[in-house]
Amino acid sequence: MNLKLISALLVAGLAASAGAAPKYPFPRAGTYKYGVKAGTTYAPALGGEINTAFKAWKTAQLDSSGSMMRVKFDNTTYTVSEGIGYGMLIMVYMDNAVNNTQGQFDKLWAYYKNFRNSNGLMHWKIQGFSSANQQNGATDAELDVALALLMAYKQWGNAQYLTDAKSLISIIWNKEVASNRLKPGDAWDDYKNPSYFSPGALELFKLVDANGWDAVMTNEYAMIKANQNATTGITSDWCTTSGSAVQGKETKQMGMNYDGVRTPWRLAIGYAWHGHADAKVINDKLTAWLTSSTSTIGNKVANIKDGYTQSGTATSTYYVATFVGAFGTAGMTNADRQAWVNSTYAQLKVGADGTGYYHSSLKVLYQLLMSGNFNNFWDSASMASTSIPTHERPLAGATVQRQGRQLTVDAGTLTGLQADVIDLKGRTLRTGSTQGSNLSLDLTGLAQGIYTIRLKSAGSGEARSIALTGN
């Protein structure tokens, strides 16, 4: 066994891998300028519900070939551009010294660029790493990819990300916006999908692009409010520009199904980051019905199903993360819905089905947003006030060294120091306390992998460093 110790949180300036150190490493323990987040203990840098969901998603959905990486679709032979957008967002927010996601972000972006059409937009469905199966762009994917590039610039400091974001945003304006409205793609403009509208992204586009994004947002919000059912607040998958619901392109159903379920989530971001009043009005109406005793859900998260007519009748029977999380994020715009947000977040952890392409991708994104880890990196004042949890802060005065299979901790002036070696399942495998000023742990027998070295001091709280075993 060859151990390499990286005390990333104890010794400033050390990096776990190649690539730029993230300016905003996961987890952030952040709050948002507007609204509420789940009032619950959430994932530390290693272990916990978000990192667990992230690792499950990576294992099941990612496929790499050379300089490119793709997110596998439900039919794993294919990849859709929407999935590349989800993947890039996840990578930019999950980076830290252990997850080391920048290289994977770059590979996902390389995949997008490799399968672009003549307009500079990725064909929306690709067969593996070979060729387009369904041609031309899908606007929801482009908005997510552009947003991810903007955040990547702030996260890792590479100006090329900003250049790429500006270029893509310009293409979106020229090819996927018409009459100050979002088109569903660059090659078609029949009906509209409310869940393609990403106000969190469009508000940031204004910072780097001079086109009329305010007018687009005004029109999109007006369309969604006209489309929303007056009693339930449920929006439909597809609608006309005036808001009249039409049949879904895939399901051929009316109402909210898998095509349109993301609307509350996207609006929740618009409110959390920018305080959009329209986003609050729309989501508050939905959660008023969700938590009402007269609704088919009746304020009981376990009653959520995966499809609804706009009048509120369930059209399917499955209990899945895609709908639980979407309805949960809707509550983030109203402090009166704190209990609802907490309950839905808890079900994302353990109850709702989070397997498969769509469920697993959105589960990670929902959890990031609801936990305070989907911050607006462009809001410097907000990010400056975001604190790292006490248990992730450096433990001043302690140093960690490894010689052979012995891990030695110099307590310095600290008293009552304890060290634990913890695996990714949260199991404590080794423990020890100071004898004099030093503490020694025997690492013999540990398998290759990633471990947490947790340090505690009676007078100085707790910190974590990362021990890696490898070749």
Cα–Cα distance, 19 to 346 (Å, whole number): 34
The closest alpha carbon to 154, from 271, 22, 31, belongs to: 22
Three-state SS for 228-296 is: CCCCCCCCCCEECCCCCEECCCCCCCCCECCCCCCHHHHHHHHHHHHCCHHHHHHHHHHHHHHCCCCCC
Alpha-carbon span 437 to 34, nearest angstrom: 47
Q: How far apart are CA 70 and CA 114, in angstroms?
A: 11
82 is catalytic: yes
* Catalytic residue, candidates 95, 106, 140, 220: 140
Cβ-based neighbour number of residue 221 at 10 Å: 21
Cβ(443)–Cβ(453) below 8 Å: no
Cβ atoms 115, 65 nearer than 8 A: no
Can you tell me the distance from the alpha carbon of 25 to that of 64, in angstroms, rounded to the nearest whole number? 24
Q: Where are the beta strands (DSSP E) in 15-153?
A: 62-65, 68-71, 78-80, 125-127, 131-134
Question: Active site includes 220?
Answer: no
Question: How far is 147 from 205, CA to CA, in rounded Å?
Answer: 8
Residue 193, CA distances (Å) to 52, 175, 467 in order: 32, 17, 47
Q: Cβ contacts of residue 397 below 8 Å, gap of 6+? A: 411, 412, 413, 414, 460
* CB neighbours of residue 339 within 10 Å: 12
Please tell me the distance from the alpha carbon of residue 178 to that of residue 243, in angstroms, as a whole number.
17
The residues, any chain, with a CB within 8 Å of residue 143's CB and separated by 6 or more, are: 85, 172, 196, 198, 201, 202
Assess contact for 226 and 300: CB atoms under 8 A.
no
- Of 461, 341, 469, whose CA–CA distance to 10 is shortest? 461
**Cα 79 versus chain centre, distance:** 19
What is the Cα 291 distance to its own chain's centre? 25
Catalytic residue among 49, 82, 220, 259: 82
Burial class for 207, CB neighbours closer than 10 Å (0-12, 13-18, 19+)? exposed
**Phi and psi at residue 351, in whole multiples of 5°?**
-105, -55
Task: State the catalytic residues.
Answer: 82, 140
